[in-house]
Amino acid sequence: MVHRLVVSYGQPSDPAAFDDYYRDTHVPLAMEMPGVIRFSTGHAQPIDPSQQAPYFVAELDFESEEAMGEAFGSPEGKAAAADVANFATGGATMAHFDVHEIQVGMPNLP
């Protein structure tokens, strides 16, 4: 079962510097982590304009929760985790979960 890490970044003090650093420095570090099977990112937009969305969101998928733990315990994972302090001036919130695919038209919630 796929296990997903979601990282939500708050509004940085310098959005252009965040984007440049994330793309040029952090992504290569994160891509070196063993066991990453999918890595996607995007600038979030609120559906309700009265609510604040994160500035940026990253999702990293692993084969299992154990694989994610091994990735973050590796030298590459430790380097990527330590790097967050270098650019996330708006803070970062991390959460993880087992991914349960929902088939359209077929309710199969866990």
Two structure tokens written together for 63:
């084969």
Two structure tokens written together for 11:
């509004």
The whole-angstrom distance between residue 39's C-alpha and the CA centroid of its chain comes to: 8
Full-model pTM: 0.89
pLDDT at position 106, please?
A: 66
pLDDT along the chain (110 residues), means of 10: 97 98 97 97 95 97 97 97 97 96 72
Select the CATH number that applies to the domain covering 3-98 from these four: 3.40.50.300, 1.10.510.10, 3.30.70.100, 3.30.930.20.
3.30.70.100
Closest C-alpha among 96, 99, 76 to residue 7: 96
CA distances to 76, 77, 92 from 86, in Å? 16, 15, 12
pLDDT at position 9, please?
A: 98
Closest C-alpha among 58, 61, 70 to residue 1: 61
